[in-house]
Amino acid sequence: MSSKRMDTKELTSFLEANDLKGLLDARGPCLSVYAPLSLSRSDEGQYELRWKECIKRLASQVERRGTEARPLLDSISDWWSIYQPDQAHGRGVAVFRAPDVFERIWLDHRPTERAVAGPHFYIRPLLPYFSRERVFYILALSQNDVRLLRCTAASSEQTTLAGGVPTNFDAFMNEEKPDHVRDNRSTAGPSSGSSKGVMFGTGAGLEDHDEFLAHFFRQIDRALGETLREKSEPVVLAGVDHVLALYRSLTRYPNIVEDAVQGAPNSLKGGEMHARALAAIEKRYERKVERAIEEYQRNVGGRLAIHGVKDVVMAAHDGRIRILLVSDSIERMGRVDEMAHAVKVRSDGAPEEEDLLNDASVQAILHGGQVLVAPNSKMPNGSGLAAVLRF
């Protein structure tokens, strides 16, 4: 059991909470450890000591869970076998150990140190990241250079639009111009620079330019749809106001984020566009939570909205939860008695005891429910858990 080899993954390889099902199905006992990584080689020894303290705290929990849990603890006790400096990257690590699971996940954020033994893996520190989109795109719109960037919370990387479409407006006008654009093009003399093929007007002026710009953005939009054909990630637009409005009026991509990065993309300093796009993704999540709370409120008084730890945990085990709202700060220790179909909210040191908010989250995910982490101040009735039910 303890000789099982450790698997390694990136947090970004889990795009949503449902991708955790393989971990959440694990047979217990389950050990979960979260730890930050050292920021430089000079302080690695300090983090080894911190890991040892985590393992020591975990040992007291393991002792209550019988002989099967001890070899699991031994297999993760050595910091250097977990850390492995030549492989470590990111800002933190999560280690999950069970009889049939040995998983190390590099994190792109610095977690609070936490070590938990229980019947399920402790996933609450990860929920805020899975509730939000793990991967998104920025479409930087300008006449000079349209760019598509694939982003995570910690990175952004330019990717090529499908079909090799022109990403410069002048190049588009010269290479891909519609027939009626050709008809209105001046033929008087050679041209140079950005005035190449100057358009002569029909009295419309700016309106003509916007029409041609719309053709340019339509071919960009088609290329975007082709590039992300098998994906559903959100796209944050970046550009000046009139360009954003024009693109929104014609796009067919179904997952454009409501908020955008305002301003000419090429004028933004390094990292600024990514930071503003992250803020747009965060606002999107906040609206999702608000809509879930509104749906809960609409169903209050009926049978499809419940709150309170006992009722929600039991509904999660029964597979009834469609949307689960989880407090970002409250914990409630206890255990579920499956035979009695009851929840006991108290800490009595039993091996089956765990944070019941974690248990509800695990069960909701396993049964295909949506889990959202909400500020405790916004939780309905001040409860740690609230839910909208399927039935």
Q: What are phi and psi of 124, to 5 degrees?
A: -60, -35
Within 8 A by CB and 6+ apart from 162, the residues are 223, 226, 227
Out of 3.30.420, 3.40.50, 2.60.40, 3.30.70, select the CATH number for domain 136-285: 3.30.420
Per-position DSSP letters for 272-321, written without gaps between them? HHHHHHHHHHHHHHHHHHHHHHHHHHHHTTSSSEEESHHHHHHHHHTT-E
d(CA 352, CA 347): 10
pLDDT digits (tens, 9 = 90+) for 344-365: 998 776 777 899 999 999 999 9
List the beta bridge partners of residue 374: 327
Give me the tens of pLDDT residue by residue for the chain, a chain 391 residues long: 446 788 887 776 676 777 788 899 999 999 999 999 987 878 888 999 999 999 999 999 998 887 889 999 999 999 999 998 888 888 899 999 999 999 999 998 899 999 999 999 999 999 988 888 889 999 999 999 999 999 988 889 999 999 999 999 999 998 865 545 544 444 444 444 444 444 434 444 566 788 999 999 999 999 999 999 988 899 999 999 999 999 999 999 999 999 999 999 999 988 999 999 999 999 999 999 999 999 999 999 889 999 999 999 999 999 999 999 999 999 999 999 989 999 999 877 677 789 999 999 999 999 999 999 999 999 999 999 999 999 9
Q: What are phi and psi of 247, to 5 degrees?
A: -65, -40
Q: What pLDDT is recorded for position 43?
A: 84
Q: What pLDDT is recorded for position 200?
A: 39
Tokens at 123, concatenated? 């996933």
Q: Is 286 exposed, middle or buried (0-12, 13-18, 19+ CB in 10 A)?
A: middle
Q: What pLDDT is recorded for position 90?
A: 84
Within 8 A by CB and 6+ apart from 20, the residues are 14, 123, 126, 130, 365
d(CA 95, CA 100): 13
d(CA 94, CA 110): 10
Q: What pLDDT is recorded for position 199?
A: 45
Cis-peptide, bond into residue 29, ω within 30° of zero: yes
- CA 246-249-255 angle, to 5 degrees, is 110
Tokens at 342, concatenated? 């009851």
Length of the chain: 391
Contact (Cβ atoms closer than 8 angstroms) between residue 113 and residue 100:
no
Within 8 A by CB and 6+ apart from 98, the residues are 26, 27, 28, 29, 30, 31, 72, 121
CATH topology of domain 1-122: 3.30.960
Produce one character per residue of 162-185: b if its CB has 16 or more CB atoms within 10 Å, e if not: eeebbbbbbebbeeebeeebeeee
- State whether residue 67 is helix, strand or coil: coil
Q: What pLDDT is recorded for position 205?
A: 58
Tokens at 126, concatenated? 């990860």
Does the domain spanning 300-391 belong to CATH 3.40.50.2020? no
Where in the chain are the domains? 1-122, 136-285, 300-391
d(CA 189, CA 246): 32
Helices (H) and strands (E) in the chain, counts: 12, 17
Tokens at 118, concatenated? 């229980």
Q: What pLDDT is recorded for position 196?
A: 43
Contact (Cβ atoms closer than 8 angstroms) between residue 223 and residue 159:
no
Tokens at 360, concatenated? 């509800």
> Look-up: residue for tokens 């079909």?
163
Provide the whole-model pTM.
0.84
d(CA 103, CA 139): 35
Q: What pLDDT is recorded for position 13?
A: 67
Q: What pLDDT is recorded for position 78?
A: 96
Q: Return the H-helix or E-strand segment holding 129.
A: helix 127-131
